[in-house]
Amino acid sequence: MASALTMFTGLGRKISGKDTQECRTLQVDMPARSSVDIEFNNITLKVSEGLRSKKKTILRSLSGLFRSGELTAIMGPSGAGKSSLMNALTAFSTTGVSGTIRAGDSVCELGKRDRSLSSLKAYRKKSCYILQDERLNPLFTVKELMRFAADMKLGNTLPEKLKLSVISEVLETLGLTGSENTRCGHLSGGQKKRLSIAVELIDNPPVVFLDEPTTGLDSSTSVQCIEMLKKLARGGRTIVCTIHQPTASVYSMFDQVYILAEGLCIYHGSSANTVPYLASIGLQCPKYHNPADYILEIANGEYGKFNDVLAERCTMQGKEQKSLPQPLVSADKEEMSCGKISIVIKPPHELYKFGVLFRRCIIQQYRDWTVTHLKVLLHIAIGIMLGLLFEKAGNDGSKTISNLGYLIVSIAYLCYTSLMPAVLRFPSELLVLKKENFNNWYNLKTYYAAVLVTGIPLQIWYSFVYSAPSYFLSGQPLEISRFFMFVMVLANVTLIADAIGNVIGTCVNPINGTFLGAITTCAMIAFAGFLVLFAHMSPGMRTISHVSFMRYAFEAIVLSVYSDGRQPLPCPETKLYCHSRYPSELLKQFSFSSENYWPNIGVLLTEIVIIRIIAYFTLSRTVRTSN
């Protein structure tokens, strides 16, 4: 391994030097090419459509073999079950699926609870799945996304130059050279599709599944895309894609086709053999007719009901064919091995991946100006506005009640502005997260840790930029320690609200989430001990109020400005009497005890940890169950 690396370092240097022209294309195969055939038996998918209705069978006992070195197309009319079969074969969604899948040496029995997890993980490691919808982060450029994928999949064991040359080679293979610096949000549909293939190809996966890679592409781009897939297949990979209505020329490019109709397989064989096969059973394809169209018309029942007969023949043939594997790849083997060196790369450690994710989160936060810049500006503006609204209330014995209002409004404002975006955040990131996590880019724990580590300083920063103008304009005591204690309470509030928002956002859909988020905030404020004093609550309600984190936050924030020997507040000369000018009396009235500041902060911190852990589990459940 070490010697291979040294050799590569040398090579990398050589290419960048002036004798570039002497060099041939550098291809690095990572990991060392291993042929993985995919064999599946009795794949059945049953879904329940309602609580009471009977289960609907979508896939009916499908079996087949997809060989390495071949490009296989799964075809069928719309609703035939192509995507469902793809999701089942990739183990992307396993609910309701039963049957056996074998990929190389790992066997995965779906639908059997006891041993499914470890075999599923091993199986999933072998393949990658490129979904129909492009799940790319629009804020990053092509080069950055490729770089991110390369860092995630290849780690730091490869020299920098070699990594770059792998990236540019993959980009060239997919015809993306020239768009390196374009942000994904600005790419055309076809380019996005090719980029979502490119990021997965970086570590040379032995098995690639693609759902409708040509949908939305024009005919010549479709041909290019299939040509490219065929080239990849010839490199020893197993490539399986679903396709909708291919042209005759595209159809002839597939080595194998697997035709579905009503959840049954009606033809599994080479594309060239389709017409003779159909003719042998009396279905004569008209001259100059596209065989792909013809077989889809048969599947649609335009020439009569042949699906069951065809499915039966297909099953019988499948059993016979298994005994004669003809690896197409053998013919190209010599060509492939010429001038290429294989190097085995272990996926990087999660700690390294954490670093890469951390960088990506920081860049994402910085680029998404609504998250960072706009929010900071708004917090400053609201801070100034509230500061002016409660002007000098903090240092005026006649305005103490207004000042308590300022304190609770600050808590409510920061709670609301942290909770709502958090409710909406994961639903919008979930698609990308699910895809990357499914394709083994990183562990969910690593992602979550990176999100937390980048999010926490930001939340503290928000609390600070809000507090700075409002604290001083509203006339709170000019003492560094009190200001620090004040910001600390608000930072805890934003962190708890963010965590609660994450739990809600990962449990329910965004519409219900915003509703639930608003209710939660209102309930918390009602039990905070300001609108109704604890002394006025019934014992039952007082017990319930312990659930509200705002109870602790409100007590702590009041203590931050009024405890620790604060002198009586000045009473303006225009007033005869200021009822609440004695801080100690005020605290007594609210049943607050002076030494409770740090215990309250302790409770808030504990709640943050607990809710964060809950949020992790709800997120992981959502990632597991969503599509």
Ligand X SMILES: Nc1ncnc2c1ncn2[C@@H]1O[C@H](COP(=O)(O)OP(=O)(O)O)[C@@H](O)[C@H]1O
Cβ-based burial of 431 (10 A; exposed 0-12, middle 13-18, buried ≥19): middle
Residue at token pair 């996966």: 205
User: Tokens in use for 180?
Assistant: 């390196």
* Minimum CB distance to ligand X, residue 99 (Å): 15
* Minimum CB distance to ligand X, residue 627 (Å): 9
Residue 319 CA to residue 459 CA, distance in Å, equals 61
Specify the stretch interacting with ligand X by CB under 6 A; choose among 82-90, 348-356, 426-434, 468-476: 82-90
Q: Which contiguous run of DSSP H or E holds residue 100?
A: strand 97-103
245/594 with CB nearer ligand X: 245
Q: Which residues contact 361 (CB under 8 A, 6 or more apart)?
A: 450, 451, 454, 455
* Minimum CB distance to ligand X, residue 92 (Å): 12
33/193 with CB nearer ligand X: 193
* Minimum CB distance to ligand X, residue 263 (Å): 7
Among 72, 83, 417, 560, contact with Mg ion (rule: CB under 5 A): 83
**Which residues, in sequence order, are bridge partners of residue 110?**
99
81/235 with CB nearer ligand X: 81
80/473 with CB nearer ligand X: 80
Q: Which residues contact 484 (CB under 8 A, 6 or more apart)?
A: none
Q: Which does 509 bind (CB under 5 to 8 A by kind): ligand X, Mg ion, none?
A: none
79/599 with CB nearer ligand X: 79
Q: Name the strands in the sheet holding 71-75, side by side, starting at the edge strand that comes first in the sequence.
A: 127-130, 207-210, 238-242, 71-75, 256-261, 264-270
* Minimum CB distance to ligand X, residue 434 (Å): 16
77/190 with CB nearer ligand X: 77
Specify the stretch interacting with Mg ion by CB under 5 A; choose among 78-86, 376-384, 507-515, 599-607: 78-86
Residue 548 CA to residue 534 CA, distance in Å, equals 13
Q: Which does 84 bind (CB under 5 to 8 A by kind): ligand X, Mg ion, none?
A: ligand X
Q: Which does 477 bind (CB under 5 to 8 A by kind): ligand X, Mg ion, none?
A: none
* Minimum CB distance to ligand X, residue 79 (Å): 4
Residue at token pair 């979930």: 430
Phi and psi at 573, nearest 5°, equal -65, -30
Among 33, 67, 82, 435, contact with ligand X (rule: CB under 6 A): 82
Residue 528 CA to residue 553 CA, distance in Å, equals 8
Q: Which does 348 bind (CB under 5 to 8 A by kind): ligand X, Mg ion, none?
A: none
Mapped onto helix, strand or coil, the DSSP state of residue 60 is strand
78/370 with CB nearer ligand X: 78
* Minimum CB distance to ligand X, residue 87 (Å): 8
50/304 with CB nearer ligand X: 50
Residue 214 as a binder of ligand X (CB under 6 A): the answer is no
User: Tokens in use for 227?
Assistant: 């040509």
Residue 35 CA to residue 566 CA, distance in Å, equals 76
Evaluated on CA atoms 389, 395, 399, 400, the torsion sign reads positive
Specify the stretch interacting with Mg ion by CB under 5 A; choose among 21-29, 76-84, 316-324, 480-488: 76-84
**Which residues, in sequence order, are bridge partners of residue 239?**
71, 208
CA atoms within 13 A on the CB side of 1: 8
Residues near Mg ion (CB under 5 A), total: 1
Nearest Cα neighbor of 222 from 202, 182, 251, 262 is 251
Q: Which of residues 22-81 bind ligand X (CB under 6 A)?
A: 47, 49, 56, 58, 76, 78-81
Residue 176 CA to residue 159 CA, distance in Å, equals 23
* Minimum CB distance to ligand X, residue 198 (Å): 24
Binding residues for ligand X, rule: CB under 6 A, are: 47, 49, 56, 58, 76, 78-84
Binding residues for Mg ion, rule: CB under 5 A, are: 83
